[in-house]
Structure 1
Amino acid sequence: MRFFPSASRQRLAAAAAAGALALGAMSVPTSPFSLAADDLKDQQKKVQKKIHGAAEDLEHSSAAARKALAKAEAARADLDRAKGRLSRVRVRLESARTRDERMAEKLQQAEERLGQARIDLEAGQEALAEQRRVVRDRVAESYMQGSPELATITSLLRTRSTEDLTRQQTATGAIMSRETGMYDDLEAAELVLQTRETEVQTAKQEVAVDRRKAAQHLEKIRRLTAQAVSRRDDVRDLAATRADARRAAFAAKLRDRKALNRLKKQEARIKQRILAAARASRGSSISAQPSGFLQRPVAGPVTSSFGYRTHPIYKYWGMHDGTDFGVACREPLKASGTGTVIAKYYSEVYGNRLFLSLGRVNGKSLTVVYNHAYGYRYDVGDRVARGAVVGTVGSTGWSTGCHLHFTVLVAGKAVDPMNWL
């Protein structure tokens, strides 16, 4: 049996818990019990008929709760993924913007270099034009004065002394050196101008490439911005979806709790009548060691032990008052001992249930309870032999798959079944 949280300790007893505990306190039925059994069975059937009539709605409600919780979990997962996508887009967008700033700075520097190269080119063009003018003037002047080499020969023929000849040769050499320097300067100016023109072309190409890259990167930023807006809208929509799913899950869970409370009250009334009949009964007691006293009800492995655990549907931490065995659907359920069926009914929580009283052991009543079965072969009052097939495994009630939830009650209190098997 599983308990829900209550207001005080966050636990709410499952629908049939009270009835189960009460039935466990009974000894093997004797004549006084049999006399009252028919009347109690009739009244129990009336109440159980009402319970069974509501069972489909309640079971559907429980299924709705599982579905709503699943939707809420899915919505949370979708929201987390959407937030992750938004975060990644924002990181990429921020990186793109940072790179855009660097590219803009690089483009500005390239444009500045292009501007300076153009200024240098213009200055070089002016210097070359001036140098060409100087050379042109000097060529014209030389043409008017004649060739310096010819002037030297003429001076040699006309000179009267060695000193005059030396002075004339020195003057002629200076003129020729100056002309040579002019031509060298002109050649240098032309080389500088070529360099400036190359720098301008290089700067133009650099600016063109940077502008193209900047335009492409700007388009990337626009695309990432659009993605960021889309992801942000997704997050908002999914947040709203998750809120709706959580509200639906809470409402379904609340409906289940209310149903459990109503059924608990109905079975509590039957409990009082059955306890009264049990007090009027008498039965012998046997002495035995608990370990190995009971036969295993199924051959499957233990999937969830007795004790506290997380509820598979509502995820709260609560007492698991039995042992779950993983068994395939329709596998046989064996009687753990010889006894009498004292209750069999459908519970919206535990599905098809059967209580088998095994009498008094070590002075205390011993009862085993089968839950979630597909169906049973015995009815209330039937005698069952140890090892007999009492029913088949199912997944009825609030269950997530075929299994047996097996409970052992000693004097109405749930104990670890594995200590008795």
Structure 2
Amino acid sequence: MTTTTRNRRPRGFRLLAGSVAGALAVLVGLTAAGPAVGDDLDDKQSNLESQQAAKDQQLADAEAALEGLSDQLRQVAAELVAIQAQLPAAQAALTEAENKLAGFEREAALIAARLQDAEEQEVSISATIDSDSARADEIRGQIGRMAREAYQGGPGLSGLSIVVGAESVEDFTEQFSLATTAQRAQSQVLDELATIEADNRNSQARLSAVREKIADLKAEADQKVAEAEVARQEAADRKAEVEDLIAQQAAKQKQVEGQKAAAQAEVDKIDSERAAISSEIEKVAAERRARAAAAGQAPPAPSGSVGSGALFGNPTSINPIYVTSEYGMRLHPILGYYRLHAGIDLRTYCGTPIYAGRDGTVQWAKWRNGFGNQVMVDHGFVNGNSLMTSYNHMTSFVVGAGQSVSRGQLLGYSGNTGTSAACHLHFEVYVNGATVNPRPLLGL
């Protein structure tokens, strides 16, 4: 037997469930406001709702695993479970923050490399401009000297002076060759100057573009540094949260370790009570068989199965039936091993009616250790098998031992007695003295 409800969960569970519900509410709000991306948001909402349902079930199962503990032990274990439930999300947030920081740092490194390349281009272009400017100045100097020489009456090399001044054909040929060479040199110097000036204009344009790029890259680098700093702080905060949760977990685990002996003693009491109940049920079934045999009406041999389908009606006032925790094995949060949650927990509210699931006879209505106020109803033999149901943690009961009850008859009112965390109905079904899963027998 373990326990689960929604009415009085330990505070750690309420906080965690609230955070999940809050995240769901945010997504629902976004979905309502979103334009043509509805399908994507619907998928996200559906996924988050599934996660919410899974988280709710995990919390319910964790609560169920706490049955059999005193309030003090249950609170310690609940706090530990709540911390452990928060750790994965906190660690995921830390990983996301670290990845974001790494992304900003990679971008900053790429920008820095581009900036360095641009600055190297600036240096190279500036050097080219300086070199070309020096050469242009040199050429201009040459042109100036040529102009001065021509102005000061230097050797004339016009075609007329060559013809008039030539003393012979050989002299004419020589002077004409010299004149041609001089003119070619002047043309080459002027062409080179024009080329250098054109190159310089291109270089100046490139230099301006590079300097603009450098300014942009420096601004982008400053922004990435700022973004990286914010991401670094976010990662530090998330890391601190994880470290704090780990520290809390370690402290709570240490506290839990110190409670193991007490927890084991309480669980042993519950197990002993359950063994006593099973023994009493088997004894009742054996006596009923003996009486039937004496009357010549012995039922067939037990088959181990009472059949399938809805053998029982809804024992609660909640319609439809709402199962908060299933039948099955649960990891004990303190003792660290799996124990059977021997029934299903059904949603009820404090003081709400509890009904008989099937015609039968009240075997007892009394306090049982761990189970609180318990009503056990004997339904006789079904397919040769003894069938009984128990209704646990009740605030009070209105029936007594030996009383016949019919399906749907009031047995008492739900509560939180015994080792229970909140008002609910822990419903168990016994076949030949052993518990079975009640869900299919309730038609669920």
TM-score normalised by structure 1 residue count: 0.63
Can you list the C-alpha shifts for 1:245-266, whole angstroms capped at 9, x where unaligned? 4455666775454245457779
Provide closer, same or farther for how the CA distance between residues 64 and 326 of structure 1 changes in structure 2, counting only shifts above 3 A. same
Q: Distance in 1 between matches of 2:345 and 2:272?
A: 27
Residue-by-residue CA offset, 1:118-166 (whole Å, 9 max, x unaligned): 22222222211111111111111112227958x5446656778887766
Alignment match, 1:106 = 114
Q: How does 1:364-379 map to 2 (within 5 A)?
A: 369-379=390-400
Q: Name which one, 1 or 2, has greater alpha-carbon Rg.
A: 1
Who is 1:15 aligned against? none
Q: Is 1:207–2:207 an aligned residue pair?
A: no
Q: How far apart in 2 are the matches of 1:191 and 1:104?
A: 32
CA drift of 1:388 comes to 8.3
Q: Following the alignment from structure 2 to structure 1, what is the Cα–Cα distance between the partners of residues 344 and 115?
A: 74
Alpha carbons of structure 1 residues 348 and 252: separation in structure 2 relative to 1, 3 Å: farther
Q: Residue in 1 aligned with 2:129?
A: 121
Structure-1 residue corresponding to 2:298:
287
Deviates more, 1:350-359 or 1:212-221: 350-359
Once the 2 structures are TM-superposed, how far is the Cα of residue 75 of structure 1 from its aligned partner? 1.6
CA contact (8 A) 2:391 2:427 kept: yes
Find out whether 1:181 has 2:188 as its counterpart: yes
The correspondence of residues 162-311 of structure 1 with structure 2, limited to 5 A, is: 171-247=178-254, 255-261=262-268, 284-285=291-292, 286-288=297-299, 296=312, 298=314, 309-311=328-330
Q: Is the 8 A contact 1:334 1:388 kept in 2?
A: yes
Deviates more, 1:382-391 or 1:312-321: 312-321
Match of 1:396 among 393, 410, 416: 416
Q: Which residue of 2 aligns with 1:145?
A: 153
Q: Tell me, yes or no, if the aligned pair for 2:69 and 2:267 is still in contact at 8 Å.
A: no
**Greater displacement, 360-369 / 130-139:** 360-369
Cα distance change on mapping 1:272 and 1:389 into 2, 3 Å? closer
Instruction: Give CA deviations for 1:301-350 in whole Å, capped at 9, x if unaligned.
Output: 8888xx971249869644465677777873452385564x5532223522
Rate the CA distance shift 1:143–1:87 in 2: closer, same or farther, 3 A.
same
Tell me the C-alpha RMSD between the 2 structures.
5.2
Contact kept? 1:310, 1:316, Cα under 8 Å: no
The corresponding residue for 2:371 is 350
The verdict on how the C-alpha distance between 1:72 and 1:167 changes in structure 2, with shifts beyond 3 A counting, is: same
Unaligned runs of 5+ in 1: 4-57
How many residues are paired up?
A: 360
How far apart, CA to CA, are the structure 2 residues paired with 1:359 and 1:195?
105
> What's the CA shift for 1:237?
0.6
Structure 1 Cα separation of the partners of residues 275 and 203 of structure 2:
104
Distance 2:368 2:205 in 1: 94
- Partners of 2:393 and 2:253 in 1: how far apart? 28
Contact preservation (8 Å) 1:66, 1:313 = no
Where 1:145 maps in the other structure, the secondary structure is coil
- One-letter code aligned to 2:198: L
| Kept in 2: contact 1:61–1:252 (CA 8 A) | no
User: Corresponding residue for 2:16?
Assistant: none
Give the C-alpha shift of residue 174 in structure 1.
4.4
77-86 vs 318-327, greater mean Cα deviation: 318-327
Query: Matched residue of 2:374: which SS?
Result: strand
Percent of paired sites with the same residue: 19
Amino acid of the structure 2 residue aligned with 1:350: F
Give yes or no for contact 1:352–1:396 (8 Å, CA) kept in 2. Answer: no
Unaligned runs of 5+ in 2: 4-65, 301-305
Which segment is superposed worse, 341-350 or 127-136? 341-350
Q: Deviations over 1:84-129 (max 9, x none)?
A: 1222222233333333333333333322222222222222222111
Q: Which has the higher contact order (CA 8 A, sep 6+)?
A: 1
**1:167-216 CA deviation, whole Å, 9 max, x = no partner?**
66555444444433333333333333333433443443333333333333
Task: Report SS of the residue matched to 1:141.
Answer: helix
CA deviation profile, 1:41-99 (whole Å, cap 9, x unmatched): xxxxxxxxxxxxxxxxx999545555544433332232222211222222233333333
Residue 26 (structure 2) aligns with: none
Q: Which position in structure 1 is the counterpart of 2:404?
A: 384
Give the secondary structure class of the aligned counterpart of 1:89: helix
Contact 2:278 2:434 in 1 (8 A): no
